[in-house]
Chain A
């Protein structure tokens, strides 16, 4: 194992579906952890965008999720594994503008269909695995030099 592969920190967070009141709090906690460790500002910004979009998607579409944060010397990896309805067509869900958000969510400024594209744009690696009726897992990485 090389130094770059070594996990410096691993922490898990719980995200609850439909809990709009606390939506964004896990992302905020992660941001302060990353800031404290001294991760570069631009990497924190990109991770915060991805984390927020992933967190809000769990709040809006899933039942619950576990977010696992792993910090390496030059990268952060995040996994967001939810229990929920899953995504029937991942390719379509990735298209900018595609959204199944309800009227209520749209009234709150969600449903632009830009969440998954935002994650893609702000990460160096992004994979979605989803099974209808079971749930969705996102894995992404942001690296720096």
Chain B
């Protein structure tokens, strides 16, 4: 599924442009060492942990997009950094579990 289709199906707020990329799966984690070692290229990362080092890690392993849960707002420079790395950054009021359920129901497994 493309990031664009996902944002239409789910209640996600895009903080960056929505880049034309396919999502290959989901990884849910708030630990940076876990994200960089285990998230796969093309994954959608679901996390509450959002700062520039996380964007750097996500970019290094070619994560396609990030969903920041619990209504947390990423700082402006973090959004800029994601935009530059062509990582689509979404926010949602949902928690990680609700997000996971909706992603599963949307067909991303």
Residues of A within 8 A of B37 (CB): 49, 114, 118, 121-122
Assuming A24-B53, A52-B57, is B34 touching A112 (CB within 8 A)?
yes
Contact B49 A108 (CB under 8 A): yes
- Tell me the bound Cα distance from A28 to B30 in angstroms: 21
Number of A-B contacts (CB under 8 A): 68
Binary flags per residue of B25-60, CB closer than 8 Å to A gives 1, else 0: 000001111111100010000000101111111011
Listed A/B pairs (22) with beta-carbon separation below 8 Å: A20-B51, A20-B52, A24-B56, A24-B60, A27-B60, A48-B60, A48-B61, A49-B60, A52-B60, A53-B33, A56-B32, A108-B32, A109-B30, A109-B31, A109-B35, A109-B53, A109-B54, A110-B31, A110-B53, A114-B31, A118-B33, A118-B37
- Tell me the bound Cα distance from A51 to B59 in angstroms: 13
- A23 interface hit (Cβ, 8 Å): yes
What is the interface of chain B mostly: helix, strand, loop, or mixed? helix
Q: How large is the interface on A (under 10, 10 to 19, 20 to 34, 35 or more residues)?
A: 20 to 34
Give the interface of B toward A (CB within 8 A): 30-37, 41, 49, 51-57, 59-61
